[in-house]
Structure 1
Amino acid sequence: MRPIRIIVAEDLDVLRNHFCQLIGREEDMNVVGQAASGKQVLQLLQEHEADIIVMDIEMDMKHDGIITAQKVLLSYPHLKIIFLTVHEDDETVFNAFETGAVDYVLKTSPPEEIIRSIRSSYDGIVQIRPEFSYKIKNEFSRIRRNEESLLKATIILSQMTPTELEIMELLLKDMKVAEIARFRQVEQSTIKSQINLILKKFNKKRSKEVTQMLRDLNIHQLIHKVRGGG
């Protein structure tokens, strides 16, 4: 049976040599190419057939590995990409997995973990390690909560009166009660009553809570369209 063909991409020579030696000691693995940048990875793929790319995220530029992974998988969808990195922050983890990479291993991981990741990835076994799985679960939970909040807020906005929508739009422009009253040429007490009705619909106590929620959900501009704007 032929060995697993691997490309190692790491911009630091000492680390690249270390990973190549580590992988090269395995009888069922063969390093077919070494790269110090994403550009070199793409060049190697034109010259060598590979099964797996073990790639750093930051090489000659920030997120070079992520950008390269996107390009690689468009042209070589059969390839398996394992990110080998020092980054553990949520955004980097999510961006890495969004490319279609099959694993994300820290450079500080024991050598046997890196080797195990290569074998598992080659066999089509994708196992997200515990230190990253909770990040992904939390992100899915956040997305689900946002979707529920988005649906609820959209329904409320669609049921608001034209006057309430106008006041909501003015609040989003950070106008005070007195300014809104002058703008609409009504008493401040009238504006306060109308704002209280809006707060009850959103089940909030302060207008800033409503405006912040709409901004967080990125639907604050929807009010203008609901009112018939362009």
Structure 2
Amino acid sequence: MPVSVLLVDDEPLVRAGLRAVLEAQPDIEVVGEAANGAAVIPLVRRLRPDVVAMDVRMPLMDGIEATRAVLRTVDAPPKILVVTTFEDDELVYEALRAGADGFLLKRARPAEIVHAVRLVAEGESLLFPASVRRLAARYGDGAAARPARAVPARARLTEREAEVLRLMARGLSNAEIAERLVVGTETVKSHVSGVLAKLGARDRTQAVIAAYESRFVEPR
């Protein structure tokens, strides 16, 4: 089955460009489009896409609120890939906090766009370590004014889980973490699952954001 994608962007040219890039791949199918976040939930429920490519700045409802709404109200929600013009946008950070699985720059090359969609569809999080560190350093200090997040305290994570979380925050994949720690990939997956469960995190992105905001990992 091809990966099904819903495109959400208020600029028709952006949607057309993404559609052309994605539909050139035999394993990806664009199943629908929307021009604002308010139209996302009905389309997600009707089309059941695997991935939503979501613009962060849109009229009526932006990508942050749309992401929250999808994750809050849709059973078995799709993966959400935020598409943005500026990687240091505060709204990108808020979208990641809201539950987006990663972000993609609109200026990305076609191969990078295709890779991003495939990656999040497979259940991986698309993180750019340097960018996320900058975002956390710039905007994470305001976390106290936001709803409370799970704090990865040392007492709750085993020593190995803490080590895995730090490597996750550096953007390493399970295979790269396994190589670094000289263990099997399945062992790493087990540790990652333990980290997510203890932090109450939906995915790797949420765990990394929590690690930065709690200063368990220092963004600077």
Tell me the TM-score range normalised by the shorter chain.
0.5 to 0.7
SS where residue 4 of structure 2 aligns? strand
2: distance between equivalents of 1:7 and 1:116? Answer: 16
Residue identity in the other structure for 1:133:
V
Pair 1:131–1:4, CA change in 2 (3 A):
same
2: distance between equivalents of 1:57 and 1:93? Answer: 7
SS where residue 115 of structure 2 aligns? helix
Deviations 1:46-85 (A, max 9, x none): 3211111001011224x61111110001123531000111
Deviations 1:14-70 (A, max 9, x none): 111111111111111111111111122222123211111001011224x61111110
Aligned-pair identity (%): 28
Q: Could you tell me how far 1:90 is from its partner in structure 2?
A: 5.0
Q: Could you tell me how far 1:111 is from its partner in structure 2?
A: 1.3
2:63 aligns with: 65
2:12 aligns with: 13
2: distance between equivalents of 1:114 and 1:31? Answer: 13
2: distance between equivalents of 1:59 and 1:94? Answer: 16
After TM superposition, list the pairs within 5 Å mapping 1:21-100 onto structure 2.
21-61=20-60, 64-76=62-74, 77-100=76-99
Q: Between Structure 1 and Structure 2, how many residues are aligned?
A: 142
Residue identity in the other structure for 1:101:
A
Query: Of the two, which has the highest radius of gyration?
Result: 1
SS where residue 134 of structure 2 aligns? helix
Alpha carbons 1:93, 1:132 under 8 Å: kept: no
1:112 pairs with 2:124: no
Structure with the bigger RCO (C-alpha within 8 Å, sep 6+) is: 2
4+ residue segments displaced more than 6 Å: none
1: distance between equivalents of 2:104 and 2:125? Answer: 12
SS where residue 104 of structure 1 aligns? strand
TM-score w.r.t. the length of structure 1 is: 0.56
Residue identity in the other structure for 2:96:
F
Q: Relative to total residues, which structure has the larger helix share, 1 or 2? A: 1
Pair 1:141–1:84, CA change in 2 (3 A):
closer
Alpha carbons 2:48, 2:78 under 8 Å: kept: no
CA RMSD across the alignment: 2.2
Q: Could you tell me how far 1:129 is from its partner in structure 2?
A: 1.2
Pair 1:68–1:143, CA change in 2 (3 A):
closer
Deviations 1:174-228 (A, max 9, x none): xxxxxxxxxxxxxxxxxxxxxxxxxxxxxxxxxxxxxxxxxxxxxxxxxxxxxxx
